[in-house]
Amino acid sequence: MPENFHELLKQDFSDLQAAVKTWQKLAQELEEAQVQHRHKVTGPLHAGKWEGADARTAFRKMEASETQLGVAQSDVSSIATVLDTVHVRMKLAQDKLRQGVRDAEADGYTVDDHGTVTDSRSGTTDADDAEAQAAEKQRVAVMGVYQGIVQDSIDNATSASWEGMQLLQSIDAFTLDKDYGASKAREGARKVADSLFQIGDEFIPSDKDPKENAKWWAGLTPQERQLYIDACPEKIGWLDGIPTTDRDEANRKYLDNSLSEYDLKKQNGDLGIHDERQYGGLRKLQNALDESDGDSDENKRLFVLGIDTKSDGRAIVAKGNPDTADNVAIQVPGTGNDLSNVDEQIDRAGILQKSANDNDGTQKTAVVSWLGYNAPEADASVATPARAREGEADLRAFTHGLRESHHGDRAHMSVLGHSYGSTMVGAAASGGKGIDADDIIVVGSPGMTVDHAKDLHMDPGHVWAGYAKDDPVSLITSDKTLGGNPADKEFGGKVFGVDTEGHSGYWDEDSASLQNQGRIIVGQAPSEEDYHVPPKYVPPGTVGPKW
């Protein structure tokens, strides 16, 4: 005899449905509170350069509160998801049960208050009537089917209730104010995701196709998207093609989790040299985010489009939202850059954005610092294209992903590379279907892995090179192992005017070099130089020009 038949048949789920809506609303309010705290409290204070002992103490407490809001949001969102899933599953079980009872009674069977299905006509047929006996066997078989529907419905409802209870118990609500609260909240979200939706790394697209990523993401419910962000932030944050704001939310969760883990290691004295370096980089990123979050202009805020601490670390940070900008520039740094100097990379993005705005303030421009590859150190690796080959598919996926997630009319996209970063840009542009850029800008380039601009899958007239007259990289290392010199006439591109010195002066304030890069970013023509082959280095004592 089925148990809980009458309870499921008559159950009113309106209270459970109301509870789901309440928890969902609370999760939304917690997220909004965290964002408001970021933009209205800590952000303006950081931007105002509040300093001193009192400031350090206050910021620690405020940052802890901000993190707690995020932890609470994740936990509450998980609770809402569990309750909603329980509600949906039990309601489906009830609907199936009620339909089964109606169908059984319409077929002439009786279903009593305990869920037992009987047939009053059973055993009344003539034993010698073969046709009647066959009909009775058929009715008995059908009665068994209805009894199975009753039992399956009750089993499904019981299973939903039990699994929901187990999951709710696994969400540790007592970690809110603990250093490991963020990681615990992530664990809880993963348990919910794995159990209810089979959400996990294996279900996230992995072929780096931005169109497929965008299609997959759009096909999820808002609830499922939030669960993925909470459960798998380290994957979602790198998913090219999905909205910038979703990637930013996921990456900030990853950043919170990582900082919490490093804080614990530091407290326990377990922070090694590599950890100390990565921890410092993450702190610099968090400080930059804190300062930018106080700006009321979205186009001056920072958005994190990728962050991890593997190897030397990677960081992709946008100044302004590329999904809503009229112009998008992607700046690729070169040799010696890693997570530890992420603040310098962000500063450079800000300088380029300001130059673009100075040239055309009527349009919105977003500049992305793209350290999405393992940049070479100042050793033998800088003379080979190996690091660029390793990362070229990632840069292609990133640029095509920004095209996919952009709102409205097509943005004017420029991809810039400095030093070995130009090698990275060249490898990405020459491979696959290119990088879909409107302009490419390289400065201080040792080579772009090709010998002609036409090999970059774009109009050579929109491939721009700049070099300082005393830049040793352009003058010595080009035309060797990394391809032709982009500033040579034979390369087939264009050369813009540079009035700065050395290998890293291309962004000097008020320089023609910086102004020209800003003009290209907003789709304007820069001042050009006549094509000529830069003088090559000649050892002392020999005849010829010297750099």
How far lies 522's CA from each of 318, 363, 403, 497, 507, in Å? 16, 8, 17, 17, 16
Residue 395: per-residue pLDDT: 98
Say which CATH topology domain 297-522 has.
Rossmann fold (3.40.50)
Residue 127: per-residue pLDDT: 60
- Residue 204 CA to residue 245 CA, distance in Å, equals 18
Q: Tell the residue number behind the tokens 């093609």, with chain if given.
A: 241
Q: Indicate the residue type of 64.
A: A
Label residue 7 by pLDDT band (50, 70, 90).
confident
Residue 543: per-residue pLDDT: 39
Q: What is the mean pLDDT of residues 188-210?
A: 71
In this structure, what DSSP letter does residue 464 have? E
Which of 196, 201, 186 minimizes the C-alpha distance to 166? 196
Residue 509: per-residue pLDDT: 94
- Residue 22 CA to residue 80 CA, distance in Å, equals 8
Domain 1-123+134-198 has CATH 1.20.1260: yes
Sign of torsion, CA 24 28 34 36?
Answer: negative
- Residue 151 CA to residue 96 CA, distance in Å, equals 11
The pairing of strands 412-418 and 327-332 is parallel
CB contact set of 398 (below 8 Å; sequence gap of 6+): 240, 305, 316, 330, 370, 372
Label residue 165 by pLDDT band (50, 70, 90).
confident
Q: Is 462 exposed, middle or buried (0-12, 13-18, 19+ CB in 10 A)?
A: middle
Residue 126: per-residue pLDDT: 61
Question: pLDDT tens-digit profile of 50-103?
Answer: 878 877 788 777 777 777 777 787 888 888 888 888 888 888 888 888 898 898
- Within 361-440, where are the H helices? 386-405, 420-430
Which of 405, 370, 402 minimizes the C-alpha distance to 388? 370
Label residue 544 by pLDDT band (50, 70, 90).
very low
* Length of the chain counted residue by residue: 547
Domain limits, the chain: 1-123+134-198, 297-522
Q: Is the pLDDT of residue 422 over 80?
A: yes
Contact 491, 412 (CB under 8 A): no
Residue 187: per-residue pLDDT: 66
In this structure, what DSSP letter does residue 431 have? S
Residue 546: per-residue pLDDT: 29
Question: pLDDT tens-digit profile of 103-119?
Answer: 888 888 899 988 899 98
